[in-house]
Amino acid sequence: MREIAINAIVHRDYSSSSDSIIKVYDNCIEIFNPGRLAEGLSVERLLSGNCISSIRRRKIGNRLKESGFIEKYGTDIRRILQGFAEHGLPAPEFEEIGGGFRLTAYRVTEKTTDLWQVTPQVSTEVGRLLLACVTPKCRDELQ
């Protein structure tokens, strides 16, 4: 969930007047960000790892890297998929929709670890990251 929150911050299109939206349902969490994938990049290529990393907001990415939130550019999707697999969680769905990008992480079945058990491990960091995006701020403050 930490990688997902970081991606939402780094790859959001801040020139859009649309909001980033997080919806929590009984069976899933949806995170929507304004801004489509980079030109020539598809969800399929993104998931295959057959693409070159492109950061929409380099200053934000660099600051998060300096702070230790980002370990290495270009490993985010792989790390998300690995993390979900390691915890026995179903892989999240990634899709371009309505001028933006949506990730849906599903709640697990009875046979796997509960999705919400992972939350206490990262809640402080994720909370700080998301809190920074809740209050409208100018680009300089976010960076």
pLDDT over 80 at 4, yes or no: yes
50 against 63, higher pLDDT: 63
Mean pLDDT of the chain: 75
User: Strands, DSSP E only, in the chain?
Assistant: 21-24, 28-34, 93-97, 100-106
111-133 tens-digit pLDDT: 444 444 555 555 666 666 666 66
67-105 tens-digit pLDDT: 777 775 656 778 888 888 888 888 899 898 888 889 999
Q: Are 108 and 118 in contact (CB under 8 A)?
A: no
Report the helix count and the strand count for the chain, using DSSP H and E.
6, 4
pLDDT over 80 at 19, yes or no: yes
pLDDT over 80 at 43, yes or no: no
What pLDDT does 73 receive? Answer: 60
22 three-class SS: strand
Average pLDDT over residues 3-21: 83
Per-residue pLDDT band at 138 (split at 50, 70, 90): low
DSSP annotation of 116 reads G
Q: Which of 12, 2, 33, 32 is nearest to 128 (CA)?
A: 2
What pLDDT does 115 receive? Answer: 46
Domains and their CATH numbers in the chain: 2-142 (3.30.565.60)
